[in-house]
Amino acid sequence: MLENSTKQKLREGHAVYGTFFRYAAPSLAEFVAMQGWDFLLFDAEHGTLEPRDMADLARACELHEVTPLARVTTNSAPVILRFLDAGAHGVQVPWVNTAAAAEQVVVSSKYQPRGSRGLAGSRQGGWGNTESLADFTARANRETLVVIHIETAEAAAAVEEYTSIDGIDVLFIGPTDLSHSLGHPANPGHPDVQEVMKRVAEVVVASDKTLGIFAGSRAAATDWYDRGARYFATGLEGLIKQGSQAYLRPARD
């Protein structure tokens, strides 16, 4: 397991930028990694990626010192284990609606003494060839990035409790799912949703956790940076759409 450059940048107070990636296509992942992202977020929740895809996707990132992260399908210890063992340098976990569930994410992601992640020789630890398992467990506990989604009304109401949990690095607002949970589907600009997002942001920024946010545009990223966010994720498809339209519309006009 290489050092987690994204986690180090966050420790130093820098902003980090990444994009969701849904495709089991290592060459495409390598090309995207070469564009300057801090991390690629391999999306198993809204994509078809499996743990078996993670190893080659992680290798594609590591060639260019980009952090491979996995948005897992669910808050399940075996699922988290398999994505990490295959090479993810951290996990982003959706639908974490209670402090107890957030604690379970950390326990599933960390080895003793903080967690109970299953221990075996794996790609992430070089199968025991590059360092001892004991050294690997210490390194993994230090370097593994843990990101928790705040995307439901229940999670937003419990955010103060989340900030007290040791081992969580980033609390990530998911505006679209949050709007759905609050009764305004696909309308994150609704005043009710904006008010909840504002409150969550204020709580997280005042804590020792990093505020994360989905930012679909440069303007959104700039706005949320000014509001204290330092972990930004966007969508690859949205970037392709923007670039395609910027090329085609003037050309056809």
pLDDT number for residue 130: 83
Q: Return mean pLDDT, the chain.
A: 96
Q: Is the dihedral of CA 195, 200, 206, 211 positive or negative?
A: negative
Read off the pLDDT band of 2 (50, 70, 90).
low
- 46, 89, 149, 190: the catalytic one is 46
- List the structure tokens of 226: 């000014």
Average pLDDT for residues 212-237, to the nearest whole number? 97
Average pLDDT for residues 140-165, to the nearest whole number? 97
Return d(Cα 180, Cα 151) in angstroms, integer. Answer: 9
Share of the chain above pLDDT 90, in %: 92
Rounded CA Rg of the chain? 18
Average pLDDT for residues 213-239, to the nearest whole number? 97
Average pLDDT for residues 60-87, to the nearest whole number? 97
pLDDT number for residue 217: 93
Q: Is the dihedral of CA 236, 242, 243, 249 positive or negative?
A: positive
Return d(Cα 178, Cα 244) in angstroms, integer. Answer: 29
pLDDT digits (tens, 9 = 90+) for 165-223: 999 999 999 999 999 999 999 999 999 999 999 999 999 999 999 999 999 999 999 99
Pairing of strands 170-173, 16-21: unpaired
| Non-local CB neighbours of 54 within 8 Å, separated by 6+ positions | 42, 68, 70, 83, 86, 87, 88
State the pTM of this model.
0.95
- CATH code for the part of the protein at 5-143+215-252: 3.20.20.60
Return d(Cα 41, Cα 50) in angstroms, integer. Answer: 13
**Above 70 in pLDDT, residue 104?**
yes
pLDDT number for residue 127: 86
Domain residue spans of the chain: 5-143+215-252
46 among known catalytic residues: yes
DSSP string computed for the chain: ----HHHHHHHTT--EEEEEE----HHHHHHHHTTT-SEEEEESSSS---HHHHHHHHHHHHTTT-EEEEE-SSS-HHHHHHHHHHT-SEEEE----SHHHHHHHHHHH--TTT--------GGGGGGSSS-HHHHHHHHHHH-EEEEEE-SHHHHHTHHHHTT-TT--EEEE-HHHHHHHTT-TT-TTSHHHHHHHHHHHHHHHTSSSEEEEE--SHHHHHHHHHTT--EEEEEHHHHHHHHHHHHHHHHH-
Identify which of 114, 10, 192, 240 has the alpha carbon closest to the alpha carbon of residue 105. 114
In this structure, are residues 64 and 30 in contact, taking their beta carbons and an 8 Å threshold? Answer: yes
pLDDT number for residue 5: 96
pLDDT number for residue 125: 80
**Count of CA atoms in the C-beta half-sphere (13 A) of 129:** 5
Average pLDDT for residues 60-75, to the nearest whole number? 97
**Above 70 in pLDDT, residue 38?**
yes
- List the structure tokens of 70: 């996995």
pLDDT number for residue 1: 55
pLDDT digits (tens, 9 = 90+) for 41-61: 999 999 999 999 999 999 999
pLDDT number for residue 94: 97
Read off the pLDDT band of 128 (50, 70, 90).
confident
Return d(Cα 213, Cα 207) in angstroms, integer. Answer: 16
